[in-house]
Amino acid sequence: MEKIRRKNLKELLENRDNVISLILAAAAVILVIVWGLTFKFGPEKLMSEIERNDFGGSSKILSAIVSTEFQGKAVEREVELIVGSRNLSDEEISRSFELLKKELPTIVLGSNESAESIITDMNLIEEDEKSGITLDWESSNTNLIGADGSVYPLEGEVGEYVQLSAILSLDGSEEEWKCNVRHMASLTEENYEVAFEREVEHIKEELSLSDSNKVLELPAETRGGQTLAWREKKDNTLLILAFFAIILMFAIKAKRRTEIKRIAEKRREEIQREFPYFLDKLVMLLSAGLILREAVERIAADYSRNNDERHKKVLYEELCSTVKTMTETNSSLSSELIKLSERLGIREFARLAVILRDSLESGMELAEKLTQESELMWTERRSSVQKLGRTADTRLVFPLMIILIVLIIIVMAPAIMQI
């Protein structure tokens, strides 16, 4: 079996090698065919000229072999020729200028209806994409129409004519084109803010230029004649930082109070959970014949002996501390239980402390009273658990609604997509 398996493996490897060899041979044949179709098979073609790319196109890169003979000896070199694109003739340049000049009166208007009523920004193009002609614009009155085509509304009379001129450049040749347009943009409530913002940007550019004057005089009015009033903006950084610092301080205090309240609430809930069990242990020990002090000490001792340090219980920790204090100071059980109830801060233990104190002072039957108290505690505990259950049901309503909506979408999606 082993020999047969090795033989089959060997045949499989040989077949794989044969397939790879065939693929490589086919690739070589394809490359030879492509090369032959590209270079037309046969001797290398002699060159006498190279066709340039059209104007505006990229340079052409061509590999060539140049050779010569000297005293019967042939010398040749491989060179890489970089052929620039074709330049336009004077006639072609002139024709391009004329075509663009015919189109410019319509192009520059932009969204304006005519040159006699310029209300919005003009379309002063910097380059014509079709012909490649670049344009350098100038305005006879930049306070009304800027060299970039921006139109500045005026407050008051309008109707002044502005001459726009452009230098058209193409392949080293230049021509000039001019037109007169009538500024009719009035300052209104709709365009005032935009015009003011544009004016402020213009003033910023003008003021950023350097000059020899020591004092920089701020303009008193805009180019449209509106009065300007300047005032220094105060640095309110420190005030803002102080404000945020005060807010942060109150936020930290509020968070700390919330955290303390949360810990206190968690501690109270833990004590309330353990209190019925403590009462049951106390009733059991008293019924077994132990006196009250011995029963309390026994509960504390059992907890200290069996408790895991990682899972401390507040009620029993405080009880152990009370028993230790009674042992060291020889104080009375009733007074220490009153102090313990004040530390725990729950009304159930305060009521128990009063019952135990009255029992110690009056000698009344304690086991029966504590049994009734234990039953009351268990009733309250069951009521608390039921309340938590109802709260949990209420909290589940929102996630269930989301799940229901998702299911409805999943079910209805195919029908909606077919509509």
Q: Are residues 270 and 201 in the same domain?
A: no
| Residue of 5 and 151 predicted with greater confidence | 151
Return d(Cα 407, Cα 413) in angstroms, integer: 10
| For range 210-228, the mean pLDDT | 71
User: Per the structure, how many domains does the chain have?
Assistant: 2
Same-domain pairing of 199 and 270: no
Q: Of 96-110, 129-143, 237-251, which range is least confident? A: 237-251
Residue with tokens 């005519």: 114
What is the predicted pLDDT for the residue at 31?
63
- Sequence letter at residue 178: K
At residue 94, the 3 state secondary structure works out as helix
In a domain? residue 167: yes
- In a domain? residue 100: yes
More confident residue, 242 or 418: 242
Domain end point (choices 207, 229, 253): 207
pLDDT band at 136 (very low <50, low <70, confident <90, very high): very high
Is 290 found in the same domain as 187?
no
Same-domain check for residues 198 and 268? no
Cα–Cα distance, 119 to 154 (Å, whole number): 11
In 30-71, where do the E strands start and end? Answer: 60-70
Whether residue 267 is found in the same domain as residue 396: yes
28 within some domain: no
Answer yes or no: do 266 and 361 share one domain. yes
Mean pLDDT of the chain: 76
Q: Does residue 343 belong to any structural domain of this protein?
A: yes
Confidence of residue 223 (pLDDT cuts 50, 70, 90): low
- Integer distance in angstroms from the first to the last C-alpha of the chain? 65
Q: What is the pLDDT of residue 180?
A: 92
pLDDT at 382 over 80: no
- Both 267 and 202 in a single domain? no
Within 10 angstroms of residue 318's Cβ, the number of other Cβ atoms is 18
Provide the domain limits for residue 154: 90-207
Whole-model pTM over 0.85 = no
**CA–CA dist 369, 279 (Å, integer):** 11
Pair 183, 271 in one domain = no
Q: Between the CA of residue 217 and those of 203, 211, 229, what are the distances in Å?
A: 12, 12, 13
168 Cβ contact partners less than 8 Å away, ≥ 6 residues apart = 97, 100, 101, 133, 134, 135, 174, 175, 176, 177
Please indicate, yes or no, whether residues 272 and 389 belong to a single structural domain of this protein.
yes
User: What string of DSSP letters covers 329-384?
Assistant: H---HHHHHHHHHHHHT-HHHHHHHHHHHHHHHH----HHHHHHHHHHHHHHHHHH
Does residue 203 form part of some domain? Answer: yes
Do 224 and 152 meet the contact criterion of CB atoms below 8 Å apart? yes
Q: What share of the chain is helix, strand, coil (3-state, %, to 5)?
A: 55, 15, 30
Q: Are 103 and 190 within one domain?
A: yes
Contacts of residue 338, defined as CB under 8 A and 6 or more positions apart, other chains included, come to 353, 357
Let me know if residue 80 belongs to a domain.
no
Sole residue written with tokens 């949990």: 392
Residue 266's identity, in one-letter code, is K
With respect to residue 310, please indicate whether it lies within any of the assigned structural domains.
yes
Q: What is the pLDDT of residue 165?
A: 92
CA–CA distance, 187 with 195 (Å, rounded to integer): 8
355, part of any domain: yes
Long-range CB pairs of 269-273 (<8 Å, 24+ gap) are 270/313, 270/314, 270/315, 271/314, 271/315, 271/344, 271/346, 271/349, 272/346, 272/348, 272/381, 272/384, 273/381
- What's the pLDDT band for 418 if we cut at 50, 70, 90? low
The span from the CA of 131 to the CA of 25, in Å, is 51
Contact 152, 144 (CB under 8 A): yes
* 280 and 365 part of one domain: yes
